[in-house]
Amino acid sequence: MTTPRPAGAGAPPGGPARILPGAGRAARLAARRLGLLVALLAAVFAAVELLPGDAAGATAERGESAAGVAARRAALGLDRPLAQRFWDWMTGLPAGDLGTTARGQHVTDVLAGPFPNTLLLGVLALALSTTGALALGGWAVLRPGGRVDRVIEAVATVAFALPEFVVSVALLLLLSQWTGWLPAVTLTGADGAPESWDMLVLPLLALAIPQIGWNTRIVRGALADQAGLPHVQASVLDGLPRRRILVHHMLPGAMPAVATGIATSAGMLLGGAVVVETLFNYPGVGAVLAGAIADRDTPLVAGVVMAAGTAVSLLLLLADLIRTITLGERR
Amino acid sequence: MTDATRAGIPRLKPPPAKAGGAGRRGRVLVRAVPALLLVLLALAGPLLAPHAIDRPVTFPYAGTDGDAVLGGDQLGRDVLSRVLTGGAPLIATASAIALAVTAIATVLGILAALRPALGRWIERVADLAILLPAVLGIMLVALAWPGGGRLAVGAAATVLGVPYAVRLVAAAAAPIAGTGYVEVAAAGGERLWYLMVREVLPNLRSTLLALFGLRFVEGVYVVSVAAFLQLGPQPPEADWALMIRENAAGITLNPWAVAAPCLAIGLLAVSVNLAAEALAPARPTPETPL
């Protein structure tokens, strides 16, 4: 969907000549996103540094001597200059090295086990919220100002306003406690993955529902902006079926905004995962993060935050590329 | 902008005519009532609580009985009293965050509209902030600043909330900055602060009120998630989010110990959100981060 189309495929005659400027634009976008990402990482690094306290002090045992703390500080490399540590961290990133936790393990080692579980949950939640939002947003925009539109708008707003743990508890009481349909906690099998598929349902719904609310509003707004454009009005005058107008004439133009919404959703899903995985005992990165907070393990949290920032940047870059491709075709 | 989104697909089915000004004001009031009532109840809650919040009155996770209407929590403390007491600090912190974010965003947003060169820089910083999911950013700051407590959470939420809000204010202020009367005042040699406060600000009232409401909802979200992760208020305190975390283990024994604070946070978020939506000028465009 997002890979640059091969030259000639579906492009009008003289395609290659038109694709080159597009490629230059895409490269500029990628460079801009990369610059933003490096700036963000530097800001996070500096923030952790400038705030009072550090990982060595935070993980100190009760009654530990100052020399012990200083020794661990040296072991963690906290006594080196900030710029040098940032450079080391950045150069390790392409090799998949996210740094060392306050307990001396590699961040990547700590995350390797739970990561696939969170990835599974996150991808499913993203897919569910995207389909849900497209369906609801499309349904609402076909009846602007009507009852369906107002109800969807209100429900979407409410869904997005609710914190994940409120949604989780409501689902827990409704679908597990009172009806007994689904298991309340996730049991982990020998391979570190959830034991059965029905244990995925509650965490998945708790993560996806607020994001469905968020994306529905973006989809509806983006589609409504398309509705006023001349080519849509023309197809309405031509008497094309409404569903066809929606899917073939409005959706393509709305895709850039929708893609950006989904990209931001991905970041918020990771934040929500910390809460949801704790409540449902789901063995993922979020649960590790919640544990890291209890341990005051700043390097581990910083590593995950930076990984999340990198992931969101990549998704936003994809969204940018979708925009370039869409607008490129239009011109 | 608002007309374009409100119009929808005009030729498929015409939207109903807009209500008049008086009708709209009435609707705003009606929609704001639940939020006001809830906030008042939460602020008056400590006075209404029948028991002390830190002493057991029944056995742990006891169900409903004559003395404790909503049963007991994990230490047998009265759930009703704790729910009544737990709202005020949450609302206070969320209001402080919303107020700070709205104030900073108003100044920067209007500046960005009046001075496009500065506006481009603000745009860049906002792009940067989108890369960092708010909850993760707050976790990081609260961790790196041990002992910061509510202050750390509030400061982080303010810093992370501003870029988004600035964008919204700048978008609303830009058309006003381009109007004839602002240009006349600028050409007449008025100072920048005069243009900001006297010419642009009065026209942003409804945008800013709605922004405050939405930031309050966001504040409730952030503060309660932080409390849930045990980053803000510490255990003996009665806090809605903390109660949910503490009592989750006993949900089968006394569901009210979890359901009551959950309901309270849910109602607060929803009612304030509806009030903010009603205040927003016409149909607000979704906060699309672009």
A138 to chain B, any CB pair closer than 8 A? The answer is no
Nearest to A313 among B131, B230, B255 (CB): B131
Q: Do B4 and A144 touch (CB under 8 A)?
A: no
Q: Do A301 and B139 touch (CB under 8 A)?
A: yes
Nearest to A163 among B12, B130, B224 (CB): B224
A51 pLDDT tier (thresholds 50, 70, 90): low
What's the pLDDT score for residue B287? Answer: 35
Closest CA to B98 of B208, B221, B215: B215
Flag whether pLDDT at B271 surpasses 50.
yes
Q: Do B11 and A309 touch (CB under 8 A)?
A: no
- Nearest chain B Cα distance for residue A306, angstroms: 8
pLDDT tens across B45-100, in order? 777 777 777 777 777 777 777 676 677 777 778 777 888 888 888 888 899 999 99
Q: Do B286 and A217 touch (CB under 8 A)?
A: yes
The lowest-confidence range among A284-288, A291-295, B65-69 is B65-69
pLDDT tens across A108-144, in order? 888 888 888 888 899 999 999 999 999 999 888 888 8
A-chain CB neighbours of B255 within 8 Å are: 173, 177
B-chain CB neighbours of A298 within 8 Å are: 140, 143-144
Q: Do B228 and A275 touch (CB under 8 A)?
A: yes
Flag whether pLDDT at B219 surpasses 50.
yes
B262 pLDDT tier (thresholds 50, 70, 90): confident
% of chain B with per-residue pLDDT over 70:
86
Task: For chain A, positions 246-275, list CB contacts with chain B under 8 A.
Answer: 257, 260-261, 264, 267-268, 270-272, 274-275
Nearest to A293 among B8, B133, B139 (CB): B139
Nearest to A275 among B137, B225, B272 (CB): B225
